[in-house]
A and B are shown apart, each in its own frame.
Chain A
Amino acid sequence: MTMEGTKSLEPLIKEPSTNRANDLDGVLQVIYESVADLNMQLPAEQQIGKSLSTILFGGGGKLDSLALANFIVITEQKLEESYGFRIDLTEDDPFSPTTGHFRNIESLATYILELTAKRPSRGL
């Protein structure tokens, strides 16, 4: 119910955009931007490619623990810039081989989508 003569504020209040977070393509775009940032500090032989199957950490992976930690922080920052909310990618131990979230880019993208799906939706 609005007062006469005033406009409803409802259209002006926007929900944070979750479209990108629910969209695998959007998540991958953020991940690949983070890869580009990370590669700037890595020697050529350690730089990683942009594909779902790129191995990040663990057997066959090119990233050591420092590079992975830098990648996590860069990715979290870009996710926050894209979605407007913080996502903690280290809820589980990132260096643990059992969780496997950082095994490759596909597993990371899946993990990000799981975390964003768990976020409670915001009520007005």
Chain B
Amino acid sequence: MNPAETESTGLKLHLISDFNLETLGHYLANGGTSPQVSVSVAPFGQVFPALLQPAHAQASDFALVWTSAEKIVPTFPNALNGVAVSEDRIFAEIHQFADCLREAQKNFRAVFVVSWTIPLHQRGNGILSLKRQGLRRLLLKMNLKLAEELENCASIYLLDGQRWMEMVGKTSYSPKLWYLTKTPFHAEVFRRAAADVKAAMSAVLGASKKLVIVDLDNTLWGGVVGDLGWQNLRLGGHDYLGEAYLDFHRALKGLRNRGILLAIVSKNEENIALEALARHPEMVLRLDDFAAYRINWNDKAANIVELVAELNLGLQSAVFIDDNPVERARVREALPEVCVPEWPDDKTLFASQLLELDCFDSAYATLEDVSRHDMYAADKRRQLSGKEVSSAEEWLRSLDTEVTVEELGDADRVRVVQLMNKTNQMNLSTRRVSEQELQAWLQPGNRKLWAFRVKDKFGDSGLTGILSLDLESDIAYITDFVLSCRVMGRNVEKAIVAFAVQYCAGLGLKELRASYLPTSKNKPCLKFWMSSGFLFDETGNRFTWLLNEPYPFPDGIKIHHSHHKGASQQASTPVLRAGQDASLAVFSD
């Protein structure tokens, strides 16, 4: 989908159910939260036909499937009625349902399936309910079976319906609404479900937050360190608030372990605050846990702008947490792109409030995600090394950067799709795709996609670049040119372009073209291409390179080509070295 279209018209979500889901549709369409979505509803009670013959499929980006266990799993009603059932038979019926879901996912970017629930008032077998043949135990196993069936389906996500029921409580099931309108749940259940569905869509679209910026005094610890000294802060100990602050630390650390970066913006004397972080014996979070900080008496909004730029992120990636409502209001007003959740006065609620935020939900968990903090730490060391050399070129050469190129394989598919869907700044066309869509795009033999891994003497940044080409007659078109902000500005961009020129020249093509599709966030990409040396045609935002001309390969970078022979047998062939003209080297596939 064209990103410009998405921004203006919103996304389309198709609801499929065996009960009345209109109230959910209303909350999704009218809730006012992002992403904006228009909703269509499949004919009532026709789940399998809707999954197998999706009339709206071509027009919808996402589908939500919310069913009743007793309707989808025909044997299950016997268990509800106290009759012994065969688990094998139930699992076979679930397998059939999963088959339909797997078929349906081909027509959507993602399919969200709600887990099965039964009313909280349904006691089942009472104390035998979690024993063999117990009703609750059976339901747990059914949901687990469904989760296992869908485990390897990259674009099907199981949403936890039980959580919504528990949050609403005993009024979650509404017999009255069921008998009046065939709606089984109270509106509050649908309101919470809508929030989670929106979070899920944001996750799939790559819009999840990547950075938490926290204040210090009365946020990370109790008290003002400048007044009390670090020794007298309320943190840990046999103190109920001290314990609450420590649990807040642990919750933040949990986010960091998932790949969310932490940072500090605080109005304090830097040395006093840093001493507290270093010396307080109960501090769970230490300075090393933070990717960046601004501790001074400057305006927090200005500090946030600087800090986010230092991390090469956009403001829309950040969440700001501060106990002071005045500071929160200031940042909200000055930086509307930054998420500033309302924060409780009650410190005992800090950890739970953080854990409840859905803005960090991610649709993927890759090695690059969980090691994001370490990569930023390496980047800090990298930046510091730049201060020891006399010129930018010398610094870049000193990094000993190596780029490994490999054609897209199964092992990289998830990370490639993730990178395409969440990269904004260095992204030529900002194309957003699901795994299925990418696979379909690559079917014709005239299209190629490569992944680029980058490492240097400070560390391995992982898979951080993508190039895709569409070859038509004697012209090659760059469809995707994507680079993670983590490795921007280190000449990797030029190395990718040099590789593209080399490949196309090797095929005997005449021109290499790149069309820049502007968005609100990819101006850095335009800036790079304007300096790339390519001819620029302003009318079409098009850049052209005549392939009979050599393209200079950037100094200080080695590029290797990795061949897929299995994980343990990957061969790495040096393709280009510094100073070598990309158009003269023979490219070997």
Q: Which of these, B27, B31, B187, B191, contacts A73 with CB under 8 Å?
A: B187
**Contacting pair B181 A69 (CB below 8 A):** yes
**Contacting pair A69 B171 (CB below 8 A):** no
Say which size band chain A's interface belongs to: 10 to 19
Within 8 A of B (CB), among A40-57: 40-44
**Does A77 have its Cβ within 8 Å of any Cβ on chain B?**
yes
**Which DSSP category, helix, strand, loop or mixed, fits chain A's interface?**
helix
**Does B26 have its Cβ within 8 Å of any Cβ on chain A?**
yes
* Most chain A CB neighbours (cut-off 10 Å) among B31, B176, B186: B176
**Does B177 have its Cβ within 8 Å of any Cβ on chain A?**
yes
* Most chain B CB neighbours (cut-off 10 Å) among A40, A41, A43, A70: A41
**Contacting pair A69 B26 (CB below 8 A):** no
Residue of B nearest to A93 (CB): B180
* Most chain A CB neighbours (cut-off 10 Å) among B23, B181, B183: B181
**Does A66 have its Cβ within 8 Å of any Cβ on chain B?**
yes
**Contacting pair A73 B30 (CB below 8 A):** no
**Contacting pair B30 A70 (CB below 8 A):** no
**Contacting pair B180 A94 (CB below 8 A):** yes
Residue of B nearest to A71 (CB): B187
CA–CA, A94 and B20, complex, Å: 19
Fill in one digit per residue for A18-48: 1 if any B CB lies within 8 Å of its CB, else 0: 0000000000000000000110111110000
Number of interface residues of B (CB under 8 A): 19
**Contacting pair A90 B187 (CB below 8 A):** no
Min Cβ gap A63→B in Å is: 12
**Does A65 have its Cβ within 8 Å of any Cβ on chain B?**
yes
Residues of B close to A74: CB separation below 8 A: 187
**Contacting pair A73 B29 (CB below 8 A):** no
Residue of A nearest to B187 (CB): A70
Q: Which of these, B31, B180, B190, contacts A69 with CB under 8 Å?
A: B180
**Contacting pair A41 B177 (CB below 8 A):** no
CA–CA, A14 and B485, complex, Å: 66
Taking A40-B191, A74-B187, A90-B176 as contacts, is the C-beta distance between A66 and B181 under 8 angstroms?
Answer: yes
Taking A40-B191, A41-B190 as contacts, is the C-beta distance between A70 and B177 under 8 angstroms?
Answer: yes
Min Cβ gap B17→A in Å is: 14
CA–CA, A21 and B171, complex, Å: 22
**Does A105 have its Cβ within 8 Å of any Cβ on chain B?**
no
Min Cβ gap A93→B in Å is: 10
Residues of B close to A94: CB separation below 8 A: 180
**Does A112 have its Cβ within 8 Å of any Cβ on chain B?**
no
**Contacting pair B30 A69 (CB below 8 A):** no
Min Cβ gap B31→A in Å is: 8
CA–CA, A42 and B27, complex, Å: 7
**Does A108 have its Cβ within 8 Å of any Cβ on chain B?**
no
CA–CA, A78 and B191, complex, Å: 17
**Contacting pair A72 B176 (CB below 8 A):** yes
Taking A65-B181, A69-B181 as contacts, is the C-beta distance between A37 and B26 under 8 angstroms?
Answer: no
Residue of B nearest to A74 (CB): B187
**Contacting pair A77 B171 (CB below 8 A):** yes
**Contacting pair A66 B22 (CB below 8 A):** yes
CA–CA, A27 and B191, complex, Å: 25
**Contacting pair B26 A73 (CB below 8 A):** no
10 further contact pairs, Cβ within 8 A, besides A43-B29, A65-B180 = A38-B187, A41-B26, A43-B26, A66-B181, A70-B177, A73-B176, A77-B171, A90-B176, A90-B180, A94-B180
Q: Would you mind naming 12 contact pairs between A and B with Cβ atoms under 8 Å apart?
A: A40-B27, A40-B191, A41-B31, A43-B29, A66-B181, A69-B183, A70-B187, A73-B174, A73-B176, A73-B187, A74-B187, A77-B171
Nearest 5 Cβ contacts at the A-B interface: A41-B26, A69-B180, A69-B181, A43-B30, A70-B187
Interface of A toward B, CB cutoff 8 Å? 37-38, 40-44, 65-66, 69-70, 72-74, 76-77, 90, 94
Interface of B toward A, CB cutoff 8 Å? 20, 22-23, 26-27, 29-31, 171, 174, 176-177, 180-181, 183, 186-187, 190-191
